[in-house]
Structure 1
Amino acid sequence: MIPYGKQSIEQRDIDAVIEILKSDFLTQGPTVRQFEDAVAKYCGAVGAVAANSATSTLHIACKALDVKQGSIVWTVPNSFVASANCALYCGATVDFVDIDANTGNLCIAALSEKLEQAARLNALPDVIIPVHFAGQSCDMARIGALAKQYGFKVIEDASHAIGGEYQGKPVGHCTYSDICVFSFHPVKIITSAEGGMAVTQNPQLADRMRAFRSHGITSDPEQMTEESHGPWYYQQQLLGYNYRMTDIQAALGLSQLARLDEFVTSRNQLARAYDKMFAEIEGITPLSQSELQLSTYHLYVVRFTDSSRELQQHIVTKMRASGICAHVHYIPIYLQPFYKDLGFSEGYCPNSEAYYQSAITIPLFPLLTYAQQQEVVKTLRNLLTGWQNIQNNIKE
């Protein structure tokens, strides 16, 4: 089976993990901070905070921005459920902004219209979480301008996008946001097995996220409310969580970080090869990509011109039966049963639903070969042609 995504692990990664296994610190040692410092430097950020998953990192980012009962958080439907769940963990109300179906990213026009309506109703969001779908940054300059105009905070969900660029700066520079979150799941750009990290230009936000990450506890005498009792002393100052990343995970992530640019270059080369192949096939269109940005191509998504749930299901099922793991990213979050119980229903974000019924993800990862790409495209083309022939016969 050719997977849609796969980690690339070399001997240096294995050696880095083994070194930690032989060391004094499997967790709460120095390697996590080294990984944080390296990611912060790469992004040009002031602070970085690692956690055991991107979901945990999104949660503590919301907490650091004081998302709570009564807060309003907006995100997009075209994402994994964590992008919305993180706000619900804090007791906030979640709402959704539709996407541009050509890119999969937040639609600025839809956001502007929704903000105008919310301003009239005195129901503006406290935080907005744009998602950099498939590795391409949202239009953060325009989102940042709207944030200043309407007074909301911004968390970039860049789970797909470490190593990408926006306006010549690394995703994670936080020029137009308060916090940016990365994922290190095995199918992402680099991996720490499981793990996530938040970066920010605000040292106070970094400190708050570190506190929420580890039970709300500090051992820093300068942050204590009274004189320390001794070197063993600590204080719990917040109701935090056990979201710590281990040194084992950090060692793998730090080793992988050394190859981040190599991975992104490889993914872009593979995407260009796919682009050329699909340019000769009618009825299939890859997602639009801005030439002004550097996408990480976490995913390579194509859309069918004549879309239907039946066609999508047919293609994905048959490709998997042929040994190719086609997939769909994503089911609109608000169509999940849990969110329907909150009052959402079909038709709420038309572009997201149209996108969902017309898109599939095909394999793309650094170890993918050109021969495998040709196999993927040939199989997809043949299945689409066969489907079209069947539909034409039915019409006749």
Structure 2
Amino acid sequence: MINFFEDGHFMIPYGKQNISDEDIQAVVDVLRSDYLTQGPMVPEFEKKVASYCGVKYAVAVNSATSALHIACLSLDVGAGDIVWTSPITFVASANCAIYCGAQVDFVDIDPLTYNMSIDSLVKKLEKAKKSGTLPKVVIPVHLAGQSCDMKAIHQLSEQYGFKIIEDASHAIGGSYHDTKIGSCTYSDITVFSFHPVKIITTGEGGMALTNNQSLVKRMARLRSHGITRYPEEMTHIPDGPWYYQQIELGFNYRMTEIQAALGFSQMSRLDSFVSERHEVAKRYDQLLSNSGIKLPWQDSQSVSAFHLYVVRIPVDHASLNRNAAFDNLRIGGVGVNLHYIPVYKQPYYQAIGFDERDFSESERYYEEAISLPMYPGLELIEQKEVVHLLTGSAGYQTIF
């Protein structure tokens, strides 16, 4: 048995950052430079990510939540508008619309991918068209790093007239139809997260990507108080070279040079991070192949970034119980988690009046899902211990 606990922390967390000596040196170089914020590293990081994804523009911010917020604002989401997203996501995917004064609704998930269901989306759009309640924006969420069916969603956007923000917080490094997630081939804006448990990290941080010049200009203003220094955007000729104007209400959502330097350095290992995550997933697939546990399904048209490895213990499993397995893992020092509690179950959203019966697949998912540890550097012996604790409470024997 592995000695799991050290200073009260999980010895096998569900996710963690991977920091190299090169990353540390990149941050030290910034600390010794003339700029700690608003220097050359932020635009360099933006260019690096944009180039990798094959998209024209990128705006780095202090969190993916901020990126979602300014993405909605740049698309003129406001009072009287409706935004749809997935219920199986972090609350930020929905909150961003509420921040703008819009209403939020949810589209049930696909039983295989756990992403937004195209069948459910079609039915909901048909119904909304008849009632005059079509969404202004749809925010598909690439859960666990696997892309939604963006081609189908884009086709529906052309038919029903909504804009698309891809919440790709889990998905940098993944691809869809041989195109990198973040290319905005099938969307107006894509958002990434650089939280420590994500594929690459800047500590806290996020980014919004787009191929639309007017959108990138507006998002760049909104991240910095709504201020511009471009004469062509001002109401009159500048008073002098010092001059700036606040032309709309913005926010302090800027990314620091320190964060950007870390992110820029991490980008050099992005593909290797994703490759390692796939190796971890393959080992789990082998270890759990005869367990009766439902393993992640992967669409042949996409390559997941594998931010998460989500398994489901069916409610009718012969010997295993999800809640008991979760407790067994936590007691054993494994920091499993559940991604996510359906957003409509949160008290804030319950007060709006959502009916759980409208989201049958999300309800089933919530009853069965567990996110197992997934990160580069996770060793086979640790994965074996995770599987032992996952299945051991019912006496299930795994042959390694």
TM-score bucket of the superposed structures, by smaller chain: over 0.9
| SS state at 1:118 partner | helix
Query: In the alignment, is residue 317 of structure 1 matched against residue 324 of structure 2?
Result: no
Counterparts in 2 of 1:384 and 1:301: CA distance versus 1, 3 Å: farther
Equivalent runs, 1:81-100 vs 2, <5 Å: 81-100=91-110
Alignment partner of 1:297 out of 285, 293, 306 = 306
- Under a length normalisation based on structure 1, what TM-score does the superposition of the two structures give? 0.95
Task: Quote the residue 1:62 is aligned against.
Answer: 72
- CA distance in structure 2 between the partners assigned to 1:212 and 1:181 by the alignment: 15
Asked if the contact 1:307/1:358 (under 8 Å) is kept, the reply is: no
Alignment coverage as a number of residue pairs? 385
Task: Choose from 213, 217, 220 the match for 1:210.
Answer: 220
Q: Is the 8 A contact 2:328 2:390 kept in 1?
A: no
Q: Which whole-Å CA distance do the structure 2 matches of 1:54 and 1:182 have between them?
A: 6
SS at match of 1:222: helix
Give the residue type in structure 2 aligned to 1:306. Answer: V
Shift of 1:69: 0.4
Cα deviation per residue 1:59-94 (whole Å; 9 max; x = unaligned)? 000000000001100001000000000000000000
128, 132, 150: which one aligns with 1:140: 150
Q: 1:40 aligns with which of 47, 50, 56?
A: 50
- 1:180 maps to what in 2? 190
Aligned positions of 1:376-391 closer than 5 A: 376-385=386-395
Q: Does 1:104 align with 2:114?
A: yes
Contact 2:315 2:367 in 1 (8 A): no
Task: Using the TM superposition, give the Cα deviation of residue 384 of structure 1 relative to its aligned residue in structure 2, in angstroms.
Answer: 4.0
Corresponding letter in the other structure for 1:288: W
Find the aligned partners of 2:153 and 2:144 in 1 and give their Cα distance: 19
1:260-311, CA deviations, whole angstroms, 9 ceiling, x for partnerless residues?
A: 0010011011111111111122x20112111221101000010112359x93
**Alignment identity in percent?**
56
Question: What is residue 170 of structure 2 aligned with on the other side?
Answer: 160
Matched, 1:23 2:22: no
| Local SS of the residue matching 2:192 | strand
Does the aligned pair in 2 maintain the 1:101–1:354 contact within 8 Å? no
Q: For residues 298 and 336 of structure 1, what CA distance do their matches in structure 2 show?
A: 24
Task: Report whether the alignment pairs 1:226 with 2:274.
Answer: no
Alignment root-mean-square deviation, CA: 1.4
Mean alpha-carbon deviation: is it higher for 286-295 or for 62-71? 286-295
Shift of 1:197: 0.2
Structure 1 stretch displaced more, 344-353 or 50-59: 344-353
CA distance in 1, matches of 2:345, 2:394: 27
Given the alignment of the two structures, is residue 257 of structure 1 paired with residue 257 of structure 2, yes or no?
Answer: no
Unaligned runs of 5+ in 2: 1-10
The letter for the 2-side match of 1:333 is V
Q: Is the 8 A contact 2:108 2:117 kept in 1?
A: yes
Partner of 1:278: 288
Runs of 4+ in 1 over 3 A off after TM superposition: none
Deviations 1:185-240 (A, max 9, x none): 00000000000001111111000100111000011223222111112110001110
Question: Which amino acid is the alignment partner of residue 257 of structure 2?
Answer: D
Q: Which ranges of structure 1 fall in alignment gaps of 5 or more residues?
A: 387-396
**Aligned partner of residue 48 in structure 1, secondary structure:** strand
Secondary structure at 2:13 match in 1: coil
Normalised by the size of structure 2, how large is the TM-score? 0.94
Residue 375 (1) aligns with residue 354 (2): no
Query: Deviations for 1:337-376, whole angstroms, at most 9, x for unmatched residues?
Result: 0001111243231100110110100001001011111111
The 1:357–1:29 alpha-carbon spacing in structure 2 relative to 1, beyond 3 Å, is same
Cα distance between partner residues in 2 of 1:271 and 1:181? 24
Which residue of 4, 28, 33 corresponds with 2:14? 4
Q: Which whole-Å CA distance do the structure 2 matches of 1:97 and 1:345 have between them?
A: 12
The whole-number CA distance in structure 2 between the counterparts of 1:254 and 1:62 is: 26
